[in-house]
Amino acid sequence: MRTARRTWIAILLSACGPLAEGQSHVVGSEKFDKLRSVYLKIKGPEEISKQLRDSFTQVAAKQELLLADDPHKAGSVIDITLKQKSGESTLYIELIAANLALRDGTSSTMYSCKLLEDGKGFSSVTKKKGKTGLLPESAKGTVFVEEATDHKSADLVATAKKEVREAGFQLIAAEKDADIVLKNIRLIKKPLRGTAVATEVDSRVNGSGVGSISVVTNLTWYMSFTEPIGPETEDCRPSIAAILEHASASYRQIAETDLALIGQRF
């Protein structure tokens, strides 16, 4: 009887061992899932709230984090408040202008997009490498670029030469031997009025291992432009289009910043 009892206990312990290990694994997995789960709460205008939530969903998947529907099942909580204000604003287009002359006597003024800026610190330019607005698309041959006449235009001339070289043209030093001549290189600045949206994003991140962190981000992006793009600013069209699409990139940056605070625990 004594021996039988010992055998039974041994069998019982042997049977319970793997079960206990399995339960421990499940509990550990559940704890880890909760640790990497984030409950996202956004208060603000419906449209931008949805766009911001979509960005968080994409970034969370990339960072192997989970967005939870229930705050009690999440290890961290991100509480975001959006305050938005729209109104008229002005962008300034900076153009490099040059007088162009071809060997056949044709002449015109050409423009290359240098920069778009708002006068408050924001600036942007989107250009395709290998293209320049300073030369017609049908242009062929060697190019002479007039040297700077003063210190202020030296950088513009250097930029013009760089664009010409990257477009595949050969620069030469003698004007008389050139097929294309660019002279009087100068900077022109043109205003472009539009509708801009300023948004304050107040993020409060709370979670184990993170504590409580507050991050405030101020964003401004342009929704539309009320003025037509003139022929001289045509080379800036890709830059203008990129600025109109800037909002989605801004949402993604906010999501990356907030989720990085949580992801650094792993």
**CATH for 2-87+193-263, among 1.25.40, 1.10.150, 3.30.160, 3.40.50?**
3.30.160
pLDDT of residue 12: 28
* CB-side neighbour CA atoms (13 Å) of 114: 22
pLDDT of residue 265: 59
Evaluate if residue 217 carries a pLDDT over 60: yes
Q: Give per-residue pLDDT as tens, 221-245.
A: 787 887 777 889 989 988 888 887 7
pLDDT of residue 37: 92
pLDDT of residue 9: 29
Average pLDDT across the chain, whole number: 84
* CB-side neighbour CA atoms (13 Å) of 129: 1
Q: Give per-residue pLDDT as tens, 125-155.
A: 888 888 899 999 889 999 999 999 888 899 9
**For the chain, which residues make up each domain, given as ranges?**
2-87+193-263, 93-190
CA–CA distance, 128 with 61 (Å, rounded to integer)? 32
Q: For helices 246-263 and 46-62, what crossing angle results, to 10°? A: 50
Amino acid at 214: S
- Banded model confidence at residue 32, pLDDT cuts 50, 70, 90: low
Q: Give per-residue pLDDT as tens, 166-215.
A: 999 999 999 999 999 999 999 999 998 888 888 899 999 987 766 889 98
Considering only CA atoms, give the Rg of the chain.
31
Token pair belonging to 80: 């975001």
Q: Give per-residue pLDDT as tens, 39-83.
A: 999 999 998 899 999 999 999 999 999 999 999 889 899 999 999
